Amino acid sequence: SQQGEEDPQALSIQEGENATMNCSYKTSINNLQWYRQNSGRGLVHLILIRSNEREKHSGRLRVTLDTSKKSSSLLITASRAADTASYFCATSQGGSEKLVFGKGTKLTVNP
């Protein structure tokens, strides 16, 4: 079953704009990760935020985590056409290292 739910399901923006994607999950977590997937191929890890962290930055990426609301957001600033992809949040819980993915947000950045 899916743990996370991304919102929106699809997002279309112009190059240079910021893109924000949200993720909600159901159970307590060890960490939350964001992955990117291009054209239905392999996933690429973007960023990991631990349950005791509230915000993390990596290049043009900013991730926030609110464990009280069981939610996270991914912000991509100054988007580029190459950012066009599907973005998934994934959580790991308890003693298990399996990742539980959401359904993803499909981002389209128009040149």
We find the least distance from the C-beta atom of residue 16 to another protein, in angstroms, to be 28
Among 63, 65, 85, 100, binds another protein (CB under 8 A): 100
Identity of the residue, 21 or 104, whose beta carbon is nearer to another protein in the bound complex: 104
Tokens of 67: 């464990």
Identity of the residue, 5 or 83, whose beta carbon is nearer to another protein in the bound complex: 5
Per the CB < 8 A criterion, the answer to whether 87 and 21 are in contact is: yes
Per the CB < 8 A criterion, the answer to whether 22 and 64 are in contact is: no
Residue 77 main-chain phi, psi, to 5 deg: -95, 155
Calculate ∠ Cα 83-84-89, nearest 5°. 80
We find the least distance from the C-beta atom of residue 86 to another protein, in angstroms, to be 9
Site for another protein contains 63 (CB under 8 A):
no
What is the binding site for another protein (CB under 8 A)? 1-2, 4, 33, 35, 40-45, 48, 88, 90, 92, 96-104
